[in-house]
Chain A
Amino acid sequence: MIEDNLHKSEPNYLTASRGLRSWLFTVDHKRIGVMYLVATTFFMMAGGILAGVLRMELFTAAGDVVDADTYNRLFTLHGSIMVFLVIIPAAPAVIGNFILPLMLGAKDVAFPRLNLASFHIYMCGAVLLLLAMIMGSFDTGWTFYTPYSTTTSGPVAWALGGVFVLGFSSILTGLNFIVTIHKMRAPGMTWFRMPLLLWSLYATSAVQLLATPVLAITVLLLVLERTIGIGIFDPNLGGDPILFQHFFWFYSHPAVYIMILPAFGIISEMVSVHAQRPIFGYKGIALSSLSIAIVGSLVWGHHMFTSGQSIYASVMFSFLTFFVAVPTAIKVFSWVATLYRGQIQLSPPMMYVFTFLALFMIGGLTGVVLGALSLDVHLHDTYFVVAHFHYVMMGGAIIAYIGGLHHWWPKMFGRMYPKKLASFTSILVFISFNMTFFPMFLVGSRGMPRRYYEYIVSFQSLNQIATVGAVLLGLSLFVTLGYLIWGAIWGPVVSANPWNGLSLEWRTTSPPSQHNFHEQPTVQGGPYDYPAESTELHVRGT
């Protein structure tokens, strides 16, 4: 509050300069974060609307809303947009860009101009994907399995070009974050005094840096195969389609951790701040992020248990898959233990922590089902898998991301959204999410394959529940978007530290000034040393 009054007249990062150019060519990590926020939100809406059409089509067993080829293009677009344009960039590029330098007590990321370049590259990749969509779209599925992807018609090469370009955005962001965390921590911030979000972003960046080039090589080979017919993957040219699956999942399984690791960090921050007590098992959580990143890079073959890969390989991949489950379980237990003897605020971010824990546990435990070899044979490529990864990717990654937005929204815009409405909407999201995706477990285990335009009648009632749930989920998310925008523009002005957080981003004004801090902040203790005596700004419980 003192700081607030002192600098009231000084412009913040939002008001420091005006005009479109001042945004598009800014090197301020906060503005870049906000631009990513706008872009990913737009694409999330686009991907969500596509999902809505898919659910409408699946409302009845017969194909009626769109034709089969359109359906195939729609689910391909839905998957590609949600994976490459939304979930992979959302948490690192929005929350990471905005919060990471603030949390470190730094003025910006290590390479601000490279950071802007990442955003421009991201937009170029997005434009390529949209061009592919306009030019008649592609129907390969987001997985681009060969030889289907090398033989089907359509602008597949453009879409692959988009994925290729997007990969560079991801790599550069990861590189930037790693260097920033190494070199720009505030005085006194040792590695084990870093907030856990930074640990998880560090692990995420490492995976981005190591795995994404493999994706780049793979899609490049695929483009070459489509355009000049080199025989890497197409067996009729002497290639090997299983090789493609290995290459693809060598990136795309670690990509799952690119999506979920930042979510783990966000949850760690929120659970500690909104329970107003130190995180339980700091080192366990920090190191499990790294071990998940390492072991998670060695489990890609569990996507291929029915592909014809050797039985021995399948056994090894199954074994390693179960190994990833252990550090993940440790995190969940630690978050729940953090609630013990806390001062728990049922604030919207905490509601999202609860939502995350419930949905992510279901997602994780059904992952155990799929890791078991004998069960995966039956469940692979059915709706059970679709349900599982939506529980993990949406119920886990996206829910944590939305919760994180609620947590840092007052920091980003200096204003608060309506909290009661937000908590209420989070319950609606939870209910409608389960209504949408839980029936898919059942319809999948009963045998409905994924990517089916039509299906046999006995699957219909479960699909109808899912479709109704999807409509409700879409509405709940639109309400969320609405009150967040309202809050950012017209919401009540908040103090620098409305949640009584202890990490450094709460020590500057809300919204922060252009250069984040007026004086270099220093760190004397851990990020979760509650109960906090030194934070003068806040009265508990308000």
Chain B
Amino acid sequence: MFEADFWFPPSVNALAAGTDDLFIFILWVTVISMAVVMGTMMWFAYRYRAGQPILKEGVPPTHHLGLEVAWTLIPTAILGVIFVWGTRDYTAMSIPPPDAMEVRVTGQKWFWTFDYPSHNIRIQATPEATQRARIAGDPVGLVVPINTPIKLVGSSVDVIHSIFIPAFRVKKDVLPQRYTVATFEATEEGEYDLFCAEYCGTKHSGMITKVSVVSEDAFAEFMAKEETKSARPVDGAQVFSGSGCAGCHAITPDTAGVGPSLHGLYGRSEPLADGTTVLADENYLRESIMKPMSQIVQGYGAIMPSYSGRLDEDELNALVLYIRGLGTDDGSAL
């Protein structure tokens, strides 16, 4: 009972290594405090049961400052330890390592889609596709190489879903019209459950697939095989030119246009017309395409039309990804 294996599936995520230990620590705190409190309660209930001769005359104590201070401070200290421990591990498992490989996760009633921008590959983890992959002997679901940090960037095309991989101790809601991020680094090859954890309707409990952790060689082989198939992420450069973005936004450095140049924008702090600054992350890029009036860059007019309703989720994701790569080292690779 005091082994993590009793409570959890085996942990295979290098970034969530301390999580189970904290649970076992709290379990010990629980068992010890339950034993003390329940034991005391039952002893009193027996020792002071009605009808026993009263040994001590007078009113039983109604206060005891020392005792009350002790049972305030001791729990406070223990809870403080738990807070710091939980927060430390949470921070570690929330921030993706800079060299992490990115996988785009899209939730949709009721299946998951995984895009690999670095390989230009798309996997739709429908039950049928999983069945086909099994027959072909391919790894199924979200396929990732072992010992490689992975950054999941998730969004949804309809309602809120939540990607939950128990063996990795990872869970993150994916929402429509914004990105959320989760990260892990698998330490053992194998197949692990992936659930949807946020209620999403009829087939909520059927929105499950697997995570296949494979060797780096097997991963490369799988990617090469997938490239021959037709499903592809949308090409962001094509969306960019096809949607008329280039009419106002340059993609080369310091080129003046009607709108600001997008070169090197990602990760920069942009000064806004209202005097504040904003970090140009994925959510900023997305919002600036869908709701351009909400954040106007300093020195430019509020004239950009909204692309809400004109781009579907795939095109939008691709466009954000394309803009993100402009002016960065790996921009050319995208």
Chain A residues within 8 Å of B, Cβ to Cβ: 63, 68-69, 72, 139, 141, 145, 147-148, 151-152, 235-236, 238, 241-242, 275-282, 284, 305-308, 311, 314-315, 318-319, 322, 325-326, 329-330, 332-334, 336-337, 339-346, 350, 354, 357-358, 361-362, 365-366, 368-369, 371-378, 380-382, 442, 445-447, 449-456, 530-531, 540-541
Cα–Cα, bound, A378→B165 (Å): 8
**A68-B205, A308-B175, A346-B49 are contacts. A326–B79 as well, Cβ < 8 Å?**
yes
In the complex, the chain A residue whose C-beta lies closest to that of B180 is: A308
Cα–Cα, bound, A531→B75 (Å): 32
Decide if B175 touches A339 in the complex (CB within 8 Å): no
**A280-B61, A330-B68, A374-B86 are contacts. A306–B162 as well, Cβ < 8 Å?**
yes
Cα–Cα, bound, A325→B72 (Å): 10
> Top 3 closest A-B pairs, CB basis?
A372-B86, A447-B166, A373-B90
Distance in Å: Cβ of A191 to nearest Cβ of chain B = 17
Decide if A342 touches B60 in the complex (CB within 8 Å): yes
Decide if A381 touches B41 in the complex (CB within 8 Å): no
Does any Cβ of A come within 8 Å of B200's Cβ?
Answer: yes
Distance in Å: Cβ of A239 to nearest Cβ of chain B = 9
Distance in Å: Cβ of A290 to nearest Cβ of chain B = 16
**Which residues 168-196 of B have a CB within 8 angstroms of A?**
169-173, 175-178, 180, 193, 195-196
Distance in Å: Cβ of A330 to nearest Cβ of chain B = 6
Which of A72, A330, A343, A449 interacts with B201 by CB under 8 Å?
A72
- Residues of chain A with a CB closer than 8 A to B202's CB: 68-69, 72
Distance in Å: Cβ of A409 to nearest Cβ of chain B = 20
Decide if B60 touches A447 in the complex (CB within 8 Å): no
- Number of A-B residue pairs with CB-CB distance less than 8 Å in the complex they form: 253
Does any Cβ of A come within 8 Å of B241's Cβ?
Answer: no
Cα–Cα, bound, A7→B65 (Å): 46
Residue-wise, chain B 29-73 has the 8 Å CB interface mask toward A (1 for contact) of: 110011001101100110011111010100111111001100110
In the complex, the chain B residue whose C-beta lies closest to that of A350 is: B45
- Residues of chain A with a CB closer than 8 A to B166's CB: 378, 446-447
Complex A-B: 14 CB contacts under 8 Å = A72-B201, A145-B160, A145-B199, A281-B62, A306-B173, A336-B37, A344-B48, A350-B45, A361-B34, A365-B26, A368-B82, A372-B22, A373-B87, A374-B16
How many interface residues does chain B have, given as a range? 35 or more
In the complex, the chain A residue whose C-beta lies closest to that of B206 is: A454
Cα–Cα, bound, A275→B85 (Å): 40
Decide if A145 touches B198 in the complex (CB within 8 Å): yes
Distance in Å: Cβ of A104 to nearest Cβ of chain B = 22
Decide if B91 touches A326 in the complex (CB within 8 Å): no
**A332-B37, A342-B60, A451-B199 are contacts. A325–B75 as well, Cβ < 8 Å?**
yes
**A235-B176, A236-B177, A374-B18 are contacts. A445–B204 as well, Cβ < 8 Å?**
no
**Which residues 146-177 of B have a CB within 8 angstroms of A?**
158-160, 162, 164, 166-167, 169-173, 175-177
Does any Cβ of A come within 8 Å of B261's Cβ?
Answer: no
Residue-wise, chain B 301-312 has the 8 Å CB interface mask toward A (1 for contact) of: 000000010000
Decide if A381 touches B176 in the complex (CB within 8 Å): no
Decide if B204 touches A452 in the complex (CB within 8 Å): yes
Does any Cβ of A come within 8 Å of B257's Cβ?
Answer: no
Distance in Å: Cβ of A244 to nearest Cβ of chain B = 10
